[in-house]
């Protein structure tokens, strides 16, 4: 069984032990499986998915579903992901994980609406929900037909999830390059073509998609962005980040909450493994659409295959990986920023205190890579100080993390200059902003020294 | 990697090994691994990593006047037919490199050889895999000084832990016996990267925070150094080839891939895709933000032999006690029941003589 929370340590081992003994019992009983009942409720017949999962045939439909939804709801309430006054944008790609997150957010909204209508004073409003789908046709022209079909299907799916009604935002990935569609598309293609490394190209596109989601969320008044990342996806990310030398910023990416962006990102399905999500889609008849698999040959695909192989060998491997990484120190932005909003439910406040999550609150002057928005290690960002009158592309090089320098930025000067001219304005402005911050920091340092000198004179 | 680029620009073997040696020198000086006058033991198994390490360290010691008193330290596990062959290689290295050689055997330290241990375990369990894991032990041990990662994926997990724990303890005890200041091992970049990945897979946060350290055990009796921390395994092989160094290697008579762990294959696939991934993994391991408040096993000393241990008794003593009492499974796998009770029971009976067990080797250090 997947771990319910990154906070429970000894409990995990106990549960794993129970699972182990349970498997042995099943093996011993053999034919006795026909007479078995649900492990949890003891009255219904357990389901069999036939997918080779280790816990197949243990739970009935209702208990399995309640278990998965329970993990979702616990994550939402424990980390204050969604509160009554929020306006939530669900990123929906058509895959099973985002489909389940969309469904669960919808169910939360329905319950909130019922509570609102049932209460006399109507003090707690119902949070709003919108859906965003990123259109990648510009990056993969060969997929244009499939993408059109997928968008139609997404529209239909979102319209079925009402009441309450939900706005659908179809976001072309090139929208961050400007409002002129043709020019934006051209810049996107040139930008991607200037990255020779396959893995770097994949990662750059991922960063651009995140920027486009952030843009549409900010422009339409959303204050939360829900991603459907599950345990399996995060386990792969842990290893890919490690392999790319991003050990420092890794812990920022895998927490339930990521508020370094303008619109905080929340991962309510973080504690559910892909197998559970796949089963839930089968169980509830949630349809998904998978775009044609692009022939992947980079590091990301190698790591995904590796994690899948490990998961077959040991069903709790993905949880172990995520739990290991969860012990790394989170950053100060890995929690919902505190506001004076007194609408936060009391239960949520109690849970936040109970978990007592430890954050690194001291490093509030964190610098970020302009391309991947990862926090920079002190040694990585020290180069930024040496540039004062440098060219824009040189400043960009100094501001990036070592991983993006290697796999995304071109290596020679003229290509780098051309590359920076293709970048979205948001990334460029971030570089300039960071440079100004760095210079301001230096000025304050010098000022302190001068004050000391004055004091000595006196 | 700047050095890599520099290397590719030069042609021929001579430039390669000059750059290679200079890199090792920079690692040693930059990390201040040694002080003048220290007595340094080189863990030598006869494999390529330790042979190259012994040669390079001897060369650099002479060239840059480190002032180190170097010698080779080998462990004889008592595996018939293979360890004696690899020790012959180390003896030849002793002559070729002009370094004194000390051989410490399991028999001397523990009173048991691996052959005897295997025989004991095999008899107790009627194990039909006896030949299988004996062969695995040979092929694993003979390639290089073992690192944790290479064994952890093996199905015979418990037995491998037994061999590994005893081997590493013997290495440290051997060094302690000979009054040395530092112990160097031939762990290379591939080994360390593999260890980082495996510790993530296994959920071992304590080891994850220290497995990338170039020097470990600085609080203990003898620090352990890895001068090859940033050196690729392929470079070591190339260097040994160019210098025509003598080292012992063997492949398993079964398919070589049959026994490779998942992580080892993964590292190799990564290296093909992106050679620098090895160093990137090490960089990640160094950069991980692990809070000091994270609960780590507390270091203490073994009640019985005084060695470092987080338990009352160290692993080697537990295993040794099990062997001496005719209970080879003791200390393997998770203890059942009350751990404290078990240890009290062991302590109570330790004074009693048991007829069926062998005489214990001397443990007085």
pLDDT score at A274: 78
| Chain position carrying tokens 């990697």 | B1
Q: pLDDT grade, residue A379 (50/70/90)?
A: low
Q: Which of B48, B75, B73, B72 is nearest to B58 (CA)?
A: B72
Instruction: For residues B9-23, give the mean pLDDT.
Output: 71
Instruction: For residues B277-302, give the mean pLDDT.
Output: 75
Alpha helices in A314-424 (DSSP H): 317-326, 346-355, 378-381, 392-399, 402-407, 413-422
Instruction: For residues A107-117, give the mean pLDDT.
Output: 86
Ordered by where they begin, the domains of chain B are 8-287 (3.40.50.620), 300-357 (no CATH)
Q: pLDDT grade, residue B213 (50/70/90)?
A: confident
pLDDT score at A142: 83
C-alpha distances (whole Å) from A158 to each of A171, B36, B56 are: 15, 73, 67
Q: Which residues on chain B are in Cβ contact (under 8 Å) with A238?
A: 200
* Top mean-pLDDT range of A51-65, A123-137, B172-186, B252-266: A123-137
Q: pLDDT grade, residue A34 (50/70/90)?
A: very low
Task: Assess whether pLDDT exceeds 80 at residue A95.
Answer: yes
* Top mean-pLDDT range of A145-149, A219-223, B160-164: A219-223
Q: Which residues on chain B are in Cβ contact (under 8 Å) with A328?
A: 288-290
DSSP result, A21-85: HHHHHHHHHGGGGGG---TTTSSSPPP---S--TTTTSS-HHHHHHHHHHHHHHHHHHTT---TT
Task: Assess whether pLDDT exceeds 70 at residue B100.
Answer: yes
Angle between helices B13-30 and B233-242 (to 10 degrees): 130
A75 or B35: which leads in pLDDT: A75
A270 or A65: which leads in pLDDT: A270
Q: Measured between CA atoms, how close is A131 to chain B, in angstroms?
A: 35
pLDDT score at B145: 35
Q: Does A383 touch chain B (CB under 8 A)?
A: no
Q: Which positions of B make up the binding site for ATP?
A: 43-45, 49, 75, 186, 191
Task: Assess whether pLDDT exceeds 60 at residue A171.
Answer: yes
Task: Assess whether pLDDT exceeds 60 at residue B218.
Answer: yes
pLDDT digits (tens, 9 = 90+) for A296-306: 578 898 898 88
Instruction: For residues B317-328, give the mean pLDDT.
Output: 66
Task: Assess whether pLDDT exceeds 90 at residue B71.
Answer: no
- Which among B2, B200, B267 is the top mutation candidate for probing chain A, defined by the most A β-carbons within 10 Å of its own β-carbon? B200
pLDDT score at B33: 87
Q: Which residues on chain A are in Cβ contact (under 8 Å) with B264?
A: none
Task: Assess whether pLDDT exceeds 60 at residue B332.
Answer: no
Q: pLDDT grade, residue A31 (50/70/90)?
A: very low
B118 or A139: which leads in pLDDT: A139
Q: Which residues on chain B are in Cβ contact (under 8 Å) with A313?
A: 262
End-to-end CA distance of chain B: 46
pLDDT score at A39: 75
Q: pLDDT grade, residue A4 (50/70/90)?
A: very low
Contact between chains at B289 and A329 (C-beta distance less than 8 A): yes
Q: Does B347 touch chain A (CB under 8 A)?
A: no
B6 or A316: which leads in pLDDT: A316
Residue of chain A whose Cα is closest to the Cα of B334: A17
Task: Assess whether pLDDT exceeds 70 at residue B91.
Answer: yes
Instruction: For residues A66-71, give the mean pLDDT.
Output: 90
pLDDT score at A92: 92
pLDDT score at A201: 85
Q: pLDDT grade, residue B136 (50/70/90)?
A: very low
**Of A248, A302, A402, which is closest to B270 when you measure between CB atoms?**
A302
pLDDT score at A155: 84
Q: What does the alpha-carbon distance between residue A188 and residue B153 come to, in Å, rounded to a whole number?
A: 44
What's chain A's average pLDDT?
Answer: 77
pLDDT score at B79: 61
pLDDT score at A128: 93
Name the pairing type of β-strands B182-184 and B224-225: parallel
Q: Measured between CA atoms, how close is A158 to chain B, in angstroms?
A: 38
Q: In what order do the strands lie in the sheet with A257-258?
A: A167-172, A128-135, A87-91, A224-226, A265-266, A257-258
A354 or A430: which leads in pLDDT: A430
pLDDT digits (tens, 9 = 90+) for A156-166: 899 888 778 88
Angle between helices A392-399 and A413-422 (to 10 degrees): 90
pLDDT score at B190: 87
Residue of chain A whose Cα is closest to the Cα of B202: A320
Q: What does the alpha-carbon distance between residue B221 and residue B223 come to, in Å, rounded to a whole number?
A: 7
- Of A15-19, B92-96, B320-324, the one with minimum mean pLDDT is A15-19
Q: Does B11 touch chain A (CB under 8 A)?
A: no
- Of A279-283, A355-359, B113-117, the one with minimum mean pLDDT is A355-359
pLDDT score at A445: 56
pLDDT score at A433: 63
- Which among B212, B274, B293, B335 is the top mutation candidate for probing chain A, defined by the most A β-carbons within 10 Å of its own β-carbon? B274
Radius of gyration for the alpha carbons in chain B, expressed in angstroms and rounded: 21
Whether the complex's predicted ipTM is more than 0.90 is answered with no
Q: pLDDT grade, residue A132 (50/70/90)?
A: very high
Q: Which of B163, B161, B45, B142 is nearest to B93 (CA)?
A: B45
Q: Which residues on chain A are in Cβ contact (under 8 Å) with B4?
A: none
Q: Hey, what are A247's tokens?
A: 């050990």
> What is the DSSP secondary structure assignment for residue A143, as one 8-state letter?
G
pLDDT score at A434: 62
Q: Does B62 touch chain A (CB under 8 A)?
A: no
B165 or A139: which leads in pLDDT: A139
**Of B205, B266, B285, which is closest to A247 when you measure between CB atoms?**
B285
Q: Which of B8, B1, B18, B4 is nearest to B239 (CA)?
A: B18
pLDDT digits (tens, 9 = 90+) for B221-276: 678 788 999 998 878 988 998 787 877 665 332 233 332 366 777 888 888 788 88
Q: pLDDT grade, residue A283 (50/70/90)?
A: confident
Instruction: For residues A107-129, give the mean pLDDT.
Output: 83
Domain A54-335 sits in CATH 3.40.50.620: yes
pLDDT score at A75: 94
pLDDT digits (tens, 9 = 90+) for A440-458: 656 655 665 655 544 444 3
Calculate what percentage of chain B has a pLDDT beyond 90: 7
Q: pLDDT grade, residue B10 (50/70/90)?
A: very low
Where in chain A are the domains? 54-335, 376-447
Using the Cα atoms of residue B60, residue B66, residue B69 and residue B75 in order, give the sign of their dihedral: negative
Task: Assess whether pLDDT exceeds 60 at residue A11.
Answer: no
């Amino acid at each position: 069984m997947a771990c319910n929370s990154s906070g429970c340590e000894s409990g995990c081992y106990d549960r794993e032990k129970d699972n182990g003994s349970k498997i042995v019992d099943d093996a011993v009983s053999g034919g006795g499986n026909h007479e078995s009942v649900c492990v949890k409720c003891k009255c219904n017949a357990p389901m069999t998915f036939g997918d080779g999962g280790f816990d197949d045939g243990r739970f009935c439909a209702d208990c399995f579903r309640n278990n998965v939804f329970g993990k979702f709801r616990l994550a939402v309430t424990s980390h204050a992901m969604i509160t009554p006054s929020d306006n939530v944008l669900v990123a929906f790609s058509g895959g099973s994980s985002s489909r389940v997150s969309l469904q669960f957010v919808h169910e939360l909204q329905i319950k909130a609406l019922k509570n609102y209508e049932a209460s006399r004073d109507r003090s707690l409003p119902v949070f709003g929900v919108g859906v965003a789908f990123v259109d990648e046709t510009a990056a993969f022209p060969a997929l244009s037909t499939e993408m059109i079909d997928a968008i139609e299907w997404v529209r239909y799916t979102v319209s079925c999830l009402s009441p309450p009604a939900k706005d659908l935002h179809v976001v072309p990935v090139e929208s961050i390059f400007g409002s002129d569609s043709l020019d934006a598309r051209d810049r996107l293609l040139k930008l991607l073509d200037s990255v020779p490394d396959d893995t770097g190209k994949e990662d750059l596109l991922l960063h651009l998609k995140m920027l486009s989601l952030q843009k549409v969320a900010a422009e339409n008044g959303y204050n939360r962005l829900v991603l459907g990342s599950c345990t399996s996806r995060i386990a792969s990310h842990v290893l890919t980040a490690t392999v790319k030398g991003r050990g420092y910023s890794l812990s920022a990416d895998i927490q339930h909450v990521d508020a370094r962006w303008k619109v905080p990102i929340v991962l309510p399905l973080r504690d559910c493994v892909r197998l559970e999500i796949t089963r839930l889609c089968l169980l509830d008849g949630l349809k998904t659409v998978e775009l044609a698999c692009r022939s992947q040959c980079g590091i990301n695909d190698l790591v995904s295959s590796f994690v899948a192989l490990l998961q077959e060998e040991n069903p709790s491997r993905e949880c172990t990986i995520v739990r290991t990484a969860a012990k790394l120190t989170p950053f100060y932005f890995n929690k919902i920023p505190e506001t004076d909003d007194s609408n936060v439910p009391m239960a949520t406040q109690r849970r936040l205190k109970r978990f007592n999550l430890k954050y690194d609150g001291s490093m509030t002057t964190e610098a970020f890579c302009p391309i991947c928005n990862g926090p920079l290690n002190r040694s990585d960002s020290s180069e930024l100080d040496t540039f004062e009158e440098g060219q824009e592309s040189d400043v960009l090089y100094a501001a990036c993390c070592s991983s993006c320098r290697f796999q995304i930025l071109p290596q020679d000067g003229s290509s780098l200059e051309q590359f920076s001219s293709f970048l979205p304005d948001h990334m460029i402005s971030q570089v300039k902003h960071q440079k100004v911050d760095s210079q301001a920091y230096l000025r304050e340092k010098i000022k302190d020294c001068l004050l000391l000198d004055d004091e000595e004179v006196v | 990697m700047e050095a890599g680029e520099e290397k590719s620009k030069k042609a021929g073997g001579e430039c390669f090994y000059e750059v290679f040696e200079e890199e090792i020198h920079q690692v040693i000086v930059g990390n201040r691994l040694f002080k003048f006058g220290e007595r340094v033991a080189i863990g030598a198994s006869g494999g390529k990593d330790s042979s190259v390490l012994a040669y390079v360290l001897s060369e650099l010691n002479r060239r840059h006047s480190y002032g180190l008193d170097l010698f080779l330290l080998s462990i004889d596990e008592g595996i018939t037919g293979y360890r004696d062959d690899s020790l012959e290689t180390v003896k030849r290295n002793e002559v070729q490199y002009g370094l004194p050689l000390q051989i410490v055997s399991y028999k001397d330290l523990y009173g048991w050889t691996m052959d005897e241990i295997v025989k004991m375990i095999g008899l107790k369990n009627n194990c039909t895999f006896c030949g299988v894991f004996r062969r695995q032990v040979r092929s694993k041990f003979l390639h290089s000084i073992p690192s944790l990662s290479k064994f952890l994926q093996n199905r015979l997990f418990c037995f491998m832990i037994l061999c590994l724990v005893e081997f590493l303890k013997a290495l440290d005890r051997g060094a302690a016996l000979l009054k040395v200041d530092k112990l160097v091992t031939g762990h290379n970049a591939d080994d360390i990267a593999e260890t980082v990945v495996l510790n993530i897979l296994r959920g071992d946060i304590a080891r994850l925070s220290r497995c990338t350290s170039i020097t470990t055990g600085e609080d203990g009796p003898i620090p352990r150094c890895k001068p090859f921390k940033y050196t690729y395994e392929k470079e070591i092989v190339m260097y040994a080839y160019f210098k025509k160094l003598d080292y012992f290697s063997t492949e398993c008579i079964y398919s070589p891939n049959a026994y490779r762990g998942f992580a080892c294959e993964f590292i190799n696939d990564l290296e093909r895709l992106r050679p620098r991934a090895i160093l990137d993994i090490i960089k990640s391991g160094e950069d991980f933000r692990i809070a000091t408040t994270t609960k780590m096993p507390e270091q203490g000393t073994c009640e019985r032999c005084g060695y470092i241990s987080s338990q009352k008794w160290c692993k080697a003593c537990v295993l040794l006690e099990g062997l001496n009492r005719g209970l080879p499974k003791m200390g393997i796998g998770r203890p059942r029941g009350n751990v404290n009770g078990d240890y009290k029971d062991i302590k109570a009976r330790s004074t009693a003589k048991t007829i069926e067990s062998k005489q214990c080797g001397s443990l007085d250090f």
